[in-house]
Structure 1
Amino acid sequence: MPENNNRINNLLEQYINKSISEADFIELFDYIKKDENKQVFDDFMKKADKIGLPDADVHHVDWEHMYSNIVSDNKKKSKSGLIISFAKKLTIAASLILVSYLGFKVFNKPAEEHSVEKITKRDLLPGSDKAILKLADGSEIVLNDAHNGVLTKQGQSNINKNDEGFIEYNEINTNGEKTVYVNTLSTPRGGQYRLMLPDKSLVWLNAESSITFPSAFVGNQRKVTVTGEAYFEVAKDKTKPFIVQSGGASVEVLGTHFNVNVYPNEENAAVTLLEGSIKLSNHNTSKILVPGQQALFNSESNNITLNNVDIDNVVDWKNGLFIFEDASVTEVMRQIERWYNVDVKYTGNIPKIKFNGVVSRNNNVSKLLKLLQAAGNIEFDIKNKTIEVKQINK
């Protein structure tokens, strides 16, 4: 009915502008979950933005899942334990809908048609849960091939692969002197993995990363070493500070949530605090971070720069998303290199484009590249395991 159509359009306008109330949001989803109203939504989205791709399809949006995630509580804990407000979830969901329908949301460039044949014929799959656990004796367990259950034993801890597919260190004997074994969990390019340490702290490893840790934490501290990128939810223990070491830098906490990005090919290393408090030391300089702050530093100087950041953008990777906010071509392609296990080659000048949008990390690389190509003066070609990036001169 036309009156319903007007109401849906009004609600959609508020939704895309992220000004909709929770009550109106529930009403909107009651409309758009019905097949007879899909055409109204389709017509609205065509008017809402001119950027589009031939294969974009709004019906790929999982309405029920999105609805339940957003309206179940005004403030709800995510799987990571973080509190996500209704407004923030609405922002992400609105971006996901735009991406699902329109392709990639680029705010600063008009879209142009380019050939996609070069990237669809040689498609690459996204990364997945895979890692190698190196034990103290040098032996290795390929975890993506391992069965669920007890894999082996290190000192007083059983190493289990649980039903959720991640590794747990469970102490089986807490009496007497503990024998400590040093283990390393590492992910390749195109891999990610989760780990529960002996103290019940949780760690998410991004692609091409590693964490070295003991089979039991003894003494007056809990110390691990990290390369690449890792997200931590540290179990509270006031008697034993938790220390993350990387090169000449260290992060000290008692119990908190934070992200460490120390990839060697990034311009700066970064530590971002989501909850609690941490002390970052870089050579002879130290800073205390509060939630929402990110510390930038590098191995060549003692400087530490503190900035306020959008923490959701920092930990997007562990939630299965690429979230780009004014991201340069090189920043985007470094993430693609690690997640899709490819090399990147630039032909000619690097396009000066800034990308904004939310895209699932579960897409094949061709879909992501087509979405990026909507910026208008960039083109990609996949040759074996190399993606060539070329600026299109107008």
Structure 2
Amino acid sequence: MKEQRLEELFRKHLYEGLTDAEETELFQLWLDPLLESRKAQMLNDFYDELPGDKDMPESDADAIFQRIVQKQAAEHRLPAKRGWTVWRRLAVAASVLLVIGLGGYFFLYNKGRQPREIVKSVLPADIGAPGINRAMITLANGQKIYLDSAANGSLTIQGAVKLLKLEDGKIAYKATGAPQEAAGYNTLFNPRGSRVIDMTLADGSHVWLNAGSSVTYPVAFTGNERRVSVEGEAYFEVAHDASKPFMVSKGKTTVRVLGTRFNVNAYDDEADIRITLLQGAVQVTNYQFTAAIKPGEQAIVKAGNIDVKGSVDLEQVMSWKEGYFRMKGTDLASLMRQVARWYDVQVEYENGVPAASFGGLINRDVSLPDMLKALEQYGIYSRIDNGKVIVQ
């Protein structure tokens, strides 16, 4: 029964994608020493299905297989080599499951691109994940407050609203009296290469900003609506107020809610704007088009049109907020755009974008060299030159 379930989950992981619970189940089965022979057979079978020349140097196969087995099952003894031919087959096939960094795992299924001769590259060891938040708030009077160097406590008072930096690094606006129209607008900017920032607005709504993003908002919400604008990616948990709908805009696209939880991905370098609803109800408007979405659905705004996608993988959408890169059928260009924002690097392709799709879960605390070294195992090579990742 376990062998059948292991093979079922393994195949589904390769060709369809797994739920979070199924991913956990797969790796629990993968660690079972009683299933070693079945795993070996599965990897051999998968190797046979790969197209073209699948040979690789012994040292590289050793490194791949050792890394997988040691990080996934450090408490178990490595299986003995049973002849180089078998070992090499297992190493190549097992490289579809590669663990990198802090308990995450990484999977690449790339039948369209054959590994080239291994080219040893030197990657700088000091390009790590963002260690601090480097967000900045621009006040209504133009003053800038750099949050990484600001002390905890009251940062400023604008009208009847106090701006606070809390002990956990979060930002909060707290009304000290009746709202005043003259308080104006503030902008919270979270640059590339910065950790996620969490802010509470004056009405009690929460906003989380991803790297390379900004949100502009009134210091105090007056009038008959609460309107903010966003660039990049933000997650909102809106405080309910039936008398004042909450409006989020990006260009000609507007999201209208009363009280709900939703994510907006509106980076300028993405082909579309995606609004994903987790709870409540929202209405999305773009030019003359309007669409209402329900929890678990996503509105995709592109070229003036709005398409609604159902049964969205919410864990994948929200993985940035939870500290992960979560991929299911993610193409290389999309992955590298996320990498560029998180590590604050530029990405260029010398010979076009390689055709590859990815699945898996990677902790965002993994270093950039580890990320790029993982890609090398699958024939996707790159070098770093003055803060620029060049994919060869």
* Length-normalised TM-score, structure 1: 0.75
Q: 1:276 to 1:20 in 2, by over 3 A?
A: closer
Secondary structure at the counterpart of residue 142 of structure 2: coil
1:212–1:225 CA contact under 8 A, matched in 2: yes
Q: Secondary structure at the match of 2:212?
A: coil
Structure 1 residue aligned with 2:234? 230
2:155 aligns to what?
Answer: 151
1:183 matched to 2:186? The reply is: yes
Q: Residue in 1 aligned with 2:388? A: 386
Q: 1:205 aligns with which of 206, 209, 220?
A: 209
Query: Which residue is equivalent to 1:360?
Result: 363
Q: Distance in 1 between matches of 2:152 and 2:137?
A: 14
Deviations 1:137-195 (A, max 9, x none): 11101111222111111111111111221100011123x75542210000111123111
Structure 2: 5+ residue stretches without partners = 13-17, 45-60, 76-95
Please point out which of 371, 376, 381 is paired with 2:374.
Answer: 371
1:203-282 mapped onto 2 (5 Å cutoff): 203-282=207-286
Contact 2:232-2:267 within 8 A present in 1 as well: yes
Q: Does 1:311 align with 2:314?
A: yes
C-alpha distance in structure 1 between counterparts of 2:158 and 2:119, whole Å:
51
What residue number does 1:79 align with?
none
CA contact (8 A) 1:56 1:103 kept: no
Deviations 1:59-106 (A, max 9, x none): 58999xxxxxxxxxxxxxxxxxxxxxxxxxxxxxxx999666895212
* Corresponding residue of 1:288: 292
Q: Pick which of 337-346 and 48-57 moved more.
A: 48-57
Structure 1 gaps of 5+ residues are 1-5, 33-37, 64-94
Provide the C-alpha distance between the structure 2 equivalents of 1:293 and 1:264, rounded to a whole number of angstroms: 22
Q: Shift of the alpha carbon at 1:19?
A: 10
Q: Are the structure 2 counterparts of residues 117 and 177 from structure 1 closer, same or farther at C-alpha, using a change threshold of 3 Å?
A: same
Q: Does the CA contact (< 8 Å) of 1:118 and 1:382 recur in 2?
A: no
Identity across matched positions, percent? 34
- 1:101-132 CA distance string (max 9 Å, x none): 89521234499697585353355121342201
Q: Which segment drifts farther, 108-117 or 191-200?
A: 108-117
Q: Residue in 1 aligned with 2:166?
A: 162
Structure 1 CA distance for aligned equivalents of residues 133 and 97 of structure 2: 23
Q: Residue type matched to 2:134 in 1? A: K
* Equivalent-residue separation in structure 1 for 2:299 and 2:314 (angstroms): 12
Alpha-carbon separation, structure 2, partners of 1:232 and 1:208: 17
Q: Aligned match of 1:325 in 312, 328, 340?
A: 328
> How many Å separate the matches in 2 of 1:45 and 1:230?
44
Comparing 145-154 and 286-295, the one that deviates more: 145-154
Matches within 5 A, 1:15-54: 40=33, 47=40, 52=64, 54=66
RMSD: 3.7
Q: How many residues align?
A: 340
